[in-house]
Each structure stands twice: as C-alpha cells, then as structure tokens.
Structure 1
Amino acid sequence: MPDTPCVVIDVSKMERNIESMANIAKEHRVKLRPHAKTHKMPWIAKRQLEHGAAGITVAKVSEAEVMAAHGVDDIFIAYPLVVDSKIERALRLGEYIRLIVGVDSLEGARLLAETAAARGRHLEVRLEVDTGLRRTGVAYDEALALARDIASLDALRLTGIYTFRGALMNGKATLDLRSAGIEEGRMMADLAERMRAAGIPIEDVSVGSTPTAAFAAMAEGVTEIRPGTYVFEDRMQAKFGVCSLEDCAAVVMATVVSRPTDDLVVIDGGSKTFATDVQPNVDPLRLQGFGHILEAPDAVLERLSEEHGMIRVAPECSLKVGDRIHIIPNHICSTINLHNKVYYVNDGSAGEESRPAGRKNAHNTYYKMKVWGRGMLE
C-alpha cells in the first residue's frame, strides 16, 4: 500500500480513454498526435501509438528527449524555441527522429534557421496561430505574411500550422464545445488554403484540445488533433460533458489526518499535491472545490495550504482520522506534474511507475519503471 498523498491510475479506464479518442480520429480521418504533457510517461505514449496515434506532442525539449530515449520517433514540440541551448538540443535530437518544432515569430524563426544552418541541418517547423486564447501564436490576420517570411528561410521547412484555443469563443470560455471546435477547425483550414494559394505548401492543419477535438476534427481541411487530458480525463472534462466521472482514470489518494470539528476534515494533500490552476467558482464551469471526493460526493475540498487540504463536510459525514479517500482533481495534467511517482491498478494488480525526467523541476535522469502484477506494460 503506497504512502499518501499519491496519484493512482486505473489502467483499464485509461485504455478505454485511449481507444475512444483513437476511434474519434479514425472516424473523422484525421491524425491523432496526443499531447504527452498530461502523463509524461513513455509507456503511456507507446500505448497511444499502438492505438494508432501518428506521433506525440510535447511542450519541452526535455520531454522530447525522454520520449525519444524510450523509442518514440515522431515528436512535435508545440512551443517556440528561442534559446540557443534548447535549439541545439532539438537539432541533436532531430538527427535520430522526426522532430517538428513550433514557431510564432520571425525573430524565433531566424534563430532556428541560423542555428540549423550553422550545423548544416534543416528543421521542420509549424507556425503557431492565435485563434483567440491570446497566448503564444501569431495574430490570425498576420499569419499569412509571417508564413511567407518563414518559408523563405533556407534552413527551415514549413510544413504546417497549429493552434490551441480550448473551450473558447469570442474571447470567453464557453460550454458550447461543438461551435467552438468547429469554428476553430474552419478558421485554421481556411488559413491553410490561403497559404497554399500563396504558394506555401502547408501539409498539416493541427488543432483541438480534449474538449473540442471531436468537433474540430469535423472541419474539412483539418488533418490532425492534439488532445492531451483525455488519456486520464478529470473533473473539469466531466463538467464540460466530455466524459463522466466514472471515466476518470487518475485520482489522488489521501489520508484523513484530522477532524477537528464536525464540519471539517483535513487530509494530507494540499497545494503541493493538487493543481490549483483551475480555481473553484469560476465561469463557465463553477466547480465547487479543488476536486470530487469519491467517498463523500457532497463534501467540498474548499481550501489548500501547502501540506493540508481542508474539506467542508456535513456533520453526519462518516469520514474519520486514518481513512483513505480518493479525489478526482479539477485538472489532472498539472496535478500529475507535482508527483515524482504515480501508482496504478490493473485487473486487481498494482504497480509503481517512477516519473521520467520530462517532469518540470525533475533532475535530468531517467528512472527505471518498476512493474509487477498481471497485465503491466513494459
């Protein structure tokens, strides 16, 4: 029995989630390139590839290095690289695998091109386009001009465009996932057509987060979707209606360490255990607390300090000191990133998976996965 707090993954549920998204991609005849930032574990990436994924997406060079070291050979770094050391590492990695790098500015493109040319190499790149999130990405109306400039750089090969917008319309979060996804897909497909008409041979049009992927894939001209959270799902996706709480494959297991009053339960998991980026009581989801407690669905994990989680309960709630409880976090991607290890169950057997070096703030070493029990994955 592992110490708490810890993350426990139900492999059977995870496999169903992987298969479901693979079927969506097949149905709409688009490629699936899942974002590995959610799990950061090579063995899970391999399961996604075995179910038909064309490659994987990552956000960091270190994540790409970890995945490549474990045999993943088609990786898209969906993030602008503008630091010489990271560009050098990407170029070295690209000698052994197919590596695609994101770019969203002429300055960044020139840095990539200059470094690649100095090494006698070429880089495959995709142009990131802002379709409303106002994060990285060139402004939509300026994308064609920038694509022309990037295409003129000898050491770069511009093969695609991509965006990340999520559940957003008109600059605001929305529950209308169908409209948001279809609009995202159409915007990008139209832009790709304009680029092709201008003589820029765009091959891939890559879109779609977990909530919008199934709808963005419907847009004619979209070639690829990049969901990530779907592999585990979480409370946020359940509230969006993308899945049910029963589909959530990852939970945080915690122990009740105190019940100082009838209406307060304290667990051994706080802000160093649960991600806090998806805050309670924020539109459009209006989630109550930081997670859904399976043993006490009406209780609310309403406050977190570093090592304590404070749960508001009804006086008749039966939770007592020493009880172990399981909580579906609001956002699983950021929660996974807080843990050096995750545990998993599969067909009644249990195993331990050490976290790879791709996790933020982890040392740049690879951990050997320890596996026991029936049905575990090498």
Structure 2
Amino acid sequence: MKPSELFRSLRSRNYRLYFTGQTISLIGTWMQRMAVSWLVFRLTHSSLMLGIVSFAGLIPAMLFSPYAGTLSDRHSRYRILLISQIASMMQSGLLAALVLLKYYNMTAIILLSIAQGVINAFDITSRQSLMVDLIDNKEDLPNAIGLNSSMVNLARLLGPAIAGVILSVFGEGICFLIDFLTFIAVIVSLLMMKLNLAPPERKNTSVWQGLKEGYSYLQLVPKVRAAILMLGAAGIFLMSFNTLTPVFAKDVFGGDAETYSWFASITGLGALGSAIYLAGLKPGKDMLKIIGVAGAVFALSVIMFSRVGSLPLALFFIMLSGAGMMAVIAATNTYVQTNVPGHMRGRMISYYAMAFQGALPVGSLLTGVVAHHIGAPRTVLFQGLAGLLCVIIFIWGIRRSRRRQAEQLQPAYSETIV
C-alpha cells in the first residue's frame, strides 16, 4: 500500500488538527499513567493498592459512559470534548502541584484518579463519536480509526520511554507537569477546527429514556453486542494484567523504574504495529474474525508472559500482548462505528467505552486482590486462561450466528431458483 493511502484520512484538515494535538497530549497522558502507578507502588509497595488506584481511575467510565453517550447524541460533541480536555488539564495541574509540593497523600491521589475517570467517560464518548464528523470522505473512517489507534500507541511507546528517564532523574512530579503542559496542544487544535456540524436532534424524552433506547437497540444487533462483550471480557481478564507490571519489574525481574518503562514501551511497540496494520486494511474486511484471532494472540501471550523467567522473553511476549490488545480494541471500535446508525452512535460508543474502560477497573481490582494472596505470576496465568476461554466462546458464538443466518437465507434463495 502506498504511504498516501495509509495516511489518507489526514487529507481532512480537521482530522489532521485533531491527530496532531492528540498525539502530543497523549504522550503526556501515558507519562502520567506511568508516574501514578510508580508513585503508588513506591509509596506503598502494595499490589492491592495498585489495584485500588486503578479501580478508582477507571470505574467512573462504567458508571457514567452510558449517560455521557446519550448526552453526546443530544448536545454538541465538539463542545463536550473541548470542556473535557480543559477539565483534564486542570486535573493534571492539581496532581503535579501535590507531588511537586511533596504532599504524598493516597486519599488525594485516589480522589484525583476518580475525577479523571469521570472526565474520561465524557471525553471518550464525545471524541469517538465526533471522529466521523472530522473526516471529509466518510469511506476513510476505518483508516481514521486505525490511525487514531496508531497515534495512541505511538504515544504509548514514547510516553513511558520518556517517563522512565524522568522518573529516574527528576521524579514523578515533572511527569505530571509535562502532562499538564501537553494539553495546550490539543485545546489549541480543537479551537482551530472549522466544523460544519448539523445541530443535534432535540428530543422531548429524558436522558434516561435515551439510555433505555440504546440498550434496547443493542439487543437487536447480536453481533455488535458480542463484539462489545468480548471487549469487556478482555478488559476484565486480560488488559488488567498491566496493573501488575510494576510488581514484575521490581520484584520478579529485580529492576527499577526504567525496567518498568520497558514493559510499557514494548507493549506500545506491539500495539503500534497492530494499529498500523489495521489502518492499512481495505474496506470490507471481516472485523469479527480479526477480533477472534487477536483475542487468541492476546490471551496466549499473557499466559506465556506469566511463565517465563527471562526478561528478554518477557518483553517479547508482552509485545505480542500489546499487538493482540490493540487489534481487539481497534477492530471492535471499527465494527461498532460502521454498523450502527448515526443517531445511535454516541450511545453505542458509550457501551464500547463502558466495555473498554468500565470492565478494566473491575479486572484491576480483582487482579490486585488475587495477587495480594497468591502472587503476581499465578494471577496473570489465571487471567490468561480465563481470557482464552472467553475468546473460544466468542468465536463459537459468531460462527453459530453466521450458520443460523445462512440457514435462514437458504430457503429464500431456493424459492427464487424455483
């Protein structure tokens, strides 16, 4: 594929602005995530506390995403996104101030994590559902989603690498300060956009009625529902194993903050390769098949990561896990966005976000609790096995659904021939 085809969605000015601003901002975001986990583990040396802080930062997505999705279908998605970015900047500034002033208070860290989780619930639904409006040629939407995933994982590759150096030399506070400053880029890029958005459809029904409509619609589209449920299962059993990477870095492999940054960066490298592959796919690819294959790769690599005693092998398998994880996330996003009508997009994206970031805190908390009792390696092994079982059920369910669909079409085809 020609490079011009791989980056074809960047021909849209608004998406180009969005892509540039988000890339800079997300590097800071990944630096903050690294620094928060390392700060908590450095202060408490507790797997349980890592799980609690991760749970606090992610559980609001499960609680607020459906509401946020309904809101984005009824109000300006652009305005919601702009407000959420400004709020995220304020949260990062407060976190930076606390740490730079050496006010190491776990309650404050947990409360700020909860605040960021609430903001993210509105940010994700508005950002994902707005993306189609940033593209001039709607056929470029799958490419834009793939490039968006590439951007996230480029940031995931660079952010932890930079954070590893800064954590070792300057400490966590500078990471938080840099994250605060990077929000300037995304806010400026949003203000520079020239959007011609149709006014959202006004309805007399309540937001809660809109939530009910979204749930009812989800029951009518079993394949969309299956894809979202698979993403949720991956969040609970597979993605949450990253909660324990500080434990593996320090206690299993005898490393430090730099070792921890290797885990995050190499995961980002695998995810970046996967995202670039998906961005280059031609329209019409079977996204459900990609979800199944990627889920199997993800689960098997997590199992192998839990069993190896060599750091190079661990890095190899965690890179594969990043590739599998990103393919599941991006393929699910593409399938949902290309198989639901516009008036339902915000609500379906909210269920996607709830599965992606809502199931993850449950998994993170369970991971921390279980690891506290049986250790990190055994916990990750059980997570991989549970994830593999979910993948097998997903593949079986999709094949069964397709067989039923083919059987229903066969009589009609036979009658046409006769």
TM range (shorter): under 0.3
TM-score of the superposed pair, with normalisation by structure 2? 0.23
| Bigger fraction of residues in strand | 1
| Bigger fraction of residues in helix | 2
TM-score of the superposed pair, with normalisation by structure 1? 0.25
State the structure with bigger RCO (CA 8 A, min sep 6), 1 or 2. Answer: 2
